[in-house]
Structure 1
């Protein structure tokens, strides 16, 4: 929003929510129309100036959040979702909440690392604009494979984040996996690649989903032609349960000895754990094994998750 409209939206929100004035009274005070006041209040909600909280004694989300914080040491937002929704509908609800949660965390001069995938693609479609200055959105892992460069898919996600936060976008034009570890070693010495890697090293926020081998809503890395039959056998032989930014891990969070990681272009778990704010977005109870592995690896500081998955995570209630 332009600064003057931002100021008007803030003033209208304060009068409406804090002073209990009607929209007609606000319109008279601001010398504008009632419909303009309605649009200002909508803008205040959409841009995060106003955040609505509903506290119900029947709501289990706060208790789930407390249990997850205690068990896994993460800040968590549990998204209430009806069990009657399918996984695509659940993902859309979680993505909407994630977009609203992420916005206030993004400040000027931020370097925001984004791992492409179905979940973060959904999040990118719900982002609302926020004015920042000198911020950068950097792609965390390459997106090419034997069938496609992956540029269109990944760049669309990066572009939406860049537009939302007025940030410069830095793509990572390498494959998701090199054919040989030696090729990766050589490429990582190239100055054009090192420039992107240096930005990743200075990230202040990383945003990612969790890929899961057994998810009923297939993760893009498993369904998009990135892994051949031999790769899948290697993962099964290493007891892999999931990945973050195409770097794989087991149920206990370990990743040592997983040979495919030597060819992956995503950041190592050690590198990711150096980022101050690491926001993990997960939708769908079928991703529970991948989520548990990611939390065991301490890859997230913040978790946004649907209620059914949260229940399974802590063994809460009838869904345990």
Structure 2
């Protein structure tokens, strides 16, 4: 069953609209098309414009959040893959249908679109939402639709600097898109992804400016993240962006690491406490993360399945959004 919600001028969740007739026309076109079942030709006649203009107005209504389309899947009628994942891993699953012939980049884009549409209804006012940076979340951030919230905050989950760059531009752009989409504050975490020495991290974590961010993370009501993997078809940014040197990668191999969430690493069985590189990582303690009420994990590409299995074993996700091929492999390998 598909539900379609069209905003009105008095709707507190509709985005702020710029002055002018185009926004008003987009709203009128959406109301006539979705609520009155008028054809685009009929709307064009009423608005005294062309059919192609009506099409653009309807696209504008969807992109700006005037129209929110939600597909409701009651559990008894949910697709088989989603039902199986829910039963086996105790997570709310959203499987994105994708043909086997589609390349990795297109799969990522389709998963990102679904993730953005799934996330928007879950974002509320007075929320503190943690966001990890990475290739997957960057893609998701480009597809967010606007929804006005009040007194909400998006906080960066892990530092982004390395020996080649501060990482501030890359991470801040992802956070900016989330904040802009929902009218929320943004709190960056301007520290490296990994400290050179664990002792440096221990000292920094005592600084008041850092403790303020850590306190926000501890009070999160939602966290949104992907799963990092070395061999992914679309390489995880932490592995391809100069964050880890050869010695780091050898250490991860010795520790039998299969993946990471927000630069915190884990093994296939979900264990993580004695992994050496986690002592230098600026990501959230995975025990803290696993206590956040809503934890949305977005995964694209079958090559991330080992990492995803480890994340699920660690209990890091309450909601999982993934492509169809990955869903099949998760269940059958």
Is the shorter-chain TM-score for this pair beyond 0.5, marking a shared fold?
A: yes
Quote the Cα distance in structure 1 between the aligned partners of 2:242 and 2:155. Answer: 23
**Counterpart pick for 1:244 among 228, 242, 261:** 261
Please state how far the C-alpha of 1:120 moved relative to its aligned partner.
0.5
- Identify if the C-alpha distance between structure 1 residues 132 and 42 changes in structure 2 by more than 3 Å, giving closer, same or farther: same
Query: Are the aligned partners of 1:248 and 1:261 in contact in 2 as well (CA < 8 Å)?
Result: yes
**Aligned equivalent of 2:210, options 193, 198, 205:** 193
Q: Find the partner of 1:275 among 273, 286, 292.
A: 292
Does residue 69 (structure 1) correspond to residue 69 (structure 2)? The answer is no
1:38-58 per-position Cα deviation (integer Å, ceiling 9, x unaligned):
455334433273426599xxx
Q: Secondary structure of 1:212's match?
A: coil
1:101 aligns with 2:118: yes
Q: In 2, distance between residues paired with 1:100 and 1:228?
A: 36
Unpaired segments ≥5 residues, structure 1: none
Equivalent pair of 2:263/2:282 in contact (CA under 8 Å): yes
| Deviation per residue, 1:19-61 (Å, 9 max, x gap) | 43334555777x6756675455334433273426599xxxx98
Distance 2:25 2:94 in 1: 30
- Of 232, 236, 252, the residue aligned with 1:235 is 252
Q: Do the aligned residues in 2 keep the contact of 1:48 with 1:103 (CA within 8 Å)? A: no
- Does the Cα contact within 8 Å between 2:104 and 2:301 map onto a contact in 1? yes
CA distance in 2, matches of 1:205, 1:8: 35
- What's the counterpart of residue 2 of structure 1? 16
TM-score by length of 1: 0.88
Report the alpha carbon displacement of residue 6 of structure 1 after superposing the two structures with TM.
8.1
- The aligned residue for residue 4 of structure 2 is none
1:135/1:168 contact within 8 Å kept: yes
Indicate the SS of the match to 1:122: helix
1:180 matched residue in structure 2: 197
Report the 3-state secondary structure (helix = DSSP H, G, I; strand = E; otherwise coil) of the residue aligned with 2:298: strand
Q: CA deviation at 1:228?
A: 1.5
CA contact (8 A) 1:282 1:304 kept: yes
Residues 112 and 138, structure 1, Cα contact 8 Å, conserved in 2? yes
TM-score by length of 2: 0.85
Q: Answer yes or no: is 1:262 the counterpart of 2:279.
A: yes
Superposed CA RMSD in Å reads 2.6
Pairwise CA distance, 1:240:
0.5
1:216 to 220, 230, 233: 233
Q: Secondary structure at the match of 2:216?
A: helix
Q: Distance in 2 between matches of 1:109 and 1:116?
A: 22
